[in-house]
Structure 1
Amino acid sequence: MALLNEHEELLSAWRSLSRAAETTDGWRTIPIGIGRCRAGVRFPAGDEALLVGFSIAAPAATDLPQGRGFSVSRVGDAPSGGFDVWFGVSRKPTASLEMFTLMAADLLASVSAAKGEEQKAYYQFLSRIRSWQQFMERPRDRRLSEEEELGLFGELTIVGRLLDRGVPPSVVMQCWKGPANGLRDFMGEMHDVEVKATISPNGFPARISSLEQLDDVAGRSVFLAALRFSLQDAATSLPALIADIREKAGGDGRIGLERNLLLAGYDDAHADEYVRCFEPMDERIFRMGDGFPRLSRSSAPLAVRAAKYELDLDLVDIATVGLDEVFVAFGGALKQ
């Protein structure tokens, strides 16, 4: 899948750059992805980085977000490549290389998909960095909140459906990006799915985290899967669903599954604390298009730099699509 390839390409590029003998301070970079991106290593420290170029007015240093495990700075000695300003997103020495690579691959995919005005592409770049900033500040040694528990149950429901319809387990785990703070919960080559789950009997509140989340730019198909559950004693708990998914994933998908559960913050040590059981009640799949009510980067005025908002999906009166359309988009079989 695209994001996996970007993950591997970044690691390969950094290994190659790190092996190169370097006796002077400064950047060594090689092109990666589209023309505005380069993988880089800065000597003598040797920290890995993703460099991205834009043709915009240079922002103040205070406008650049910083986060746990990474830093963002202007890069003065990078190749111009026709761009006025270059930014480096660099791993801090104590940060996990695996986590930083996930972040860099996500940024690379997001920037590669950005079309149109340079300023909008730049804001999308910053939006994803800020999202990772919040993600990396989340505590990892606790049980999930009730909202996180429901969200993970919803995503795993789609994981199970994809596996049931014949999508290879390794492909499902590669596409499942929600736990790794992906822009959307499932991201394929050209088809994405964002999952929203609720237990509300009246109204369907869905929090949208950014202008980019439901934006179907660059020819990508974006689906919104709305799943409603009720709490029933005889239904399925989160640990029970995970046990079922582990069996379905088998050996091919087990490593990817466990990695995603770890990133989602799920720990078997807290399994006994997840006592709520969820019964599926309703599901609706919306395909993003002109009739869907949303705020998006491609349509928002340039002065709107970022936004979070809430939809009531019960009030969205447009035609839904069948799950078959989603399954086939991710490599599943048509229902016979």
Structure 2
Amino acid sequence: MMGLIDRWHRLEEADAANQGLKSLVYSSLLYRTYIGSIHGLRCLYIEIPKSLGNRFEDVPSYEGLAITVTETSYEQDGCTSLILTSGSAEQNDEFAVIAEDILASLTGIEEAEAYVRSISQKINDWAVFFKRRKTNVLSRSEEIGLFGELLFIRNQFEAGVQDADVWWNGPRKTAQDFQTKKLAVEIKTTTANEIAEVHISGVGQLSLDDEYAGGNLYLIVYRLVVDDLHGLSLPELIRQIVERIPEKRRPLFCAKLECIGFFEEQSDKYNGKYSSAECRVYHVKDGFPRITRDVVPAAILKAEYILNLNACEAYRADFNSVIDSLKG
């Protein structure tokens, strides 16, 4: 994510005269993609086949996202450009999160129809977000889940990891909550009386994506307890983390939170206070009980299951092993 953001920053600095400069990104995708900025608004240019451009002609724009299909002077033969534009300069960082999510969903797709369908689905997903933004607060289960992910970020900062916020996927629908080239971590959070089982929401959640093959994969489970005396509310935990993040990175972190559905002005809606009563770490490797893509027939599009953690004791690991993998 920071790579894309940094490129946007460099492009914006180079285009101080607002000449509409563009930069090629994600050249490994099926079609070329560019980022740019027009009158202070970030833009994402995605080339798609002309024959499929009409799929987006009647798609409405939303508060934070404008959508147009037009031909420019730089497309490959037979292509047109789907142009996504930030709704306002204040939403540029949110837009960067959305752009990264859309582009990540296109990785590995080799067929035009599937490529365009994935873009359309992502736009629809984000449309739902824009319709509900600032009108709904997170559900309690969403609040607990976010609390656990943020707790892991704080724990990393406390252990000396300086970029804990950077490799957090936040709202992106990726296999794991945290991913680097050498490490992936999935966070589960519960308020049950004991850590006995967790819900695995997909066949890819406990397996590494191809681009991360060869790295380590960990499952970390936090058990929270209500603690009005010594605990933290979700907004309080967020403020602790923001204080540790360098000022340059704070807007992106806050944009991720907003794309999840947390808005600072709604902080008074989150009154519950929690403490971490237990943290378990599991090294997900050969032999770990899980369902992976290679054993699931292609016709099965989605699968969920409950994992009995009592049967995973042989794979328990120390939290420091995760930190060592990050620093190594």
* 2-structure distance, mates of 1:47, 1:74: 17
Paired residue type of 1:238: S
Out of 187, 208, 212, the position equivalent to 1:219 is 212
- Answer yes or no: is the 8 Å Cα contact 1:70–1:95 preserved in 2: no
TM-score between both structures, scaled by the size of structure 2: 0.69
Measure how far apart 1:278 and its partner are: 3.8
* 2-structure distance, mates of 1:275, 1:312: 27
- Answer yes or no: is the 8 Å Cα contact 2:288–2:315 preserved in 1: no
Measure how far apart 1:6 and its partner are: 0.8
- Answer yes or no: is the 8 Å Cα contact 2:186–2:205 preserved in 1: no
- Answer yes or no: is the 8 Å Cα contact 2:94–2:255 preserved in 1: no
Match of 2:17 in 1: 19
Match of 2:35 in 1: 39
Match of 1:5 in 2: 3
**Pairing 1:191–2:183 present:** yes
Say if 1:174 and 1:93 are closer, same or farther in 2 by CA, change over 3 A.
closer
Paired residue type of 1:151: G
**Pairing 1:277–2:274 present:** yes
Measure how far apart 1:197 and its partner are: 1.1
- Single out whichever of 221-230 and 4-13 deviates more from structure 2: 221-230
Count of aligned pairs: 315
Measure how far apart 1:162 and its partner are: 0.8
Which runs of 5 or more residues in structure 1 are unaligned? 23-27
Measure how far apart 1:176 and its partner are: 2.8
Which runs of 5 or more residues in structure 2 are unaligned? none
Say if 1:193 and 1:129 are closer, same or farther in 2 by CA, change over 3 A.
farther
Deviations 1:16-63 (A, max 9, x none): 5673558xxxxx644223252212467xx8854212235797275269
Say if 1:133 and 1:141 are closer, same or farther in 2 by CA, change over 3 A.
closer
2:165 is paired with a residue whose SS is helix
Paired residue type of 1:76: E
Deviations 1:251-309 (A, max 9, x none): 679946973685351538745852343442352435377966457699773895xx5x5
1:175 is paired with a residue whose SS is coil
**Pairing 1:324–2:320 present:** yes
Measure how far apart 1:151 and its partner are: 1.5
* 2-structure distance, mates of 1:87, 1:326: 40
1:96 is paired with a residue whose SS is helix
Say if 1:62 and 1:79 are closer, same or farther in 2 by CA, change over 3 A.
closer
Instruction: Let me know the Cα RMSD of the aligned residues.
Output: 4.7
- Single out whichever of 159-168 and 67-76 deviates more from structure 2: 67-76
Out of 80, 97, 100, the position equivalent to 1:102 is 97
TM-score between both structures, scaled by the size of structure 1: 0.68
* 2-structure distance, mates of 1:160, 1:238: 14
- Answer yes or no: is the 8 Å Cα contact 1:31–1:38 preserved in 2: yes
* 2-structure distance, mates of 1:253, 1:71: 26
- Answer yes or no: is the 8 Å Cα contact 1:30–1:38 preserved in 2: yes
Matches within 5 A, 1:40-79: 40=36, 48-53=42-47, 58=52, 61=55, 67-77=62-72, 79=74
Measure how far apart 1:158 and its partner are: 0.6
Say if 1:181 and 1:243 are closer, same or farther in 2 by CA, change over 3 A.
closer
1:197 is paired with a residue whose SS is strand
* 1-structure distance, mates of 2:284, 2:220: 9
State the identity as a percent: 16
Matches within 5 A, 1:66-215: 67-77=62-72, 79-81=74-76, 84=79, 86-92=81-87, 96-111=91-106, 114-115=107-108, 117-118=110-111, 124-140=118-134, 144-168=138-162, 171-178=163-170, 181=172, 183=174, 184-201=176-193, 204-206=197-199, 208=201
Paired residue type of 1:105: E
* 2-structure distance, mates of 1:181, 1:131: 11
Match of 2:284 in 1: 287
- Answer yes or no: is the 8 Å Cα contact 2:206–2:284 preserved in 1: no
* 2-structure distance, mates of 1:73, 1:158: 39
- Answer yes or no: is the 8 Å Cα contact 1:197–1:229 preserved in 2: yes
2:308 is paired with a residue whose SS is helix
Measure how far apart 1:146 and its partner are: 1.4
- Answer yes or no: is the 8 Å Cα contact 1:55–1:83 preserved in 2: yes
Paired residue type of 1:154: G
* 1-structure distance, mates of 2:295, 2:16: 38
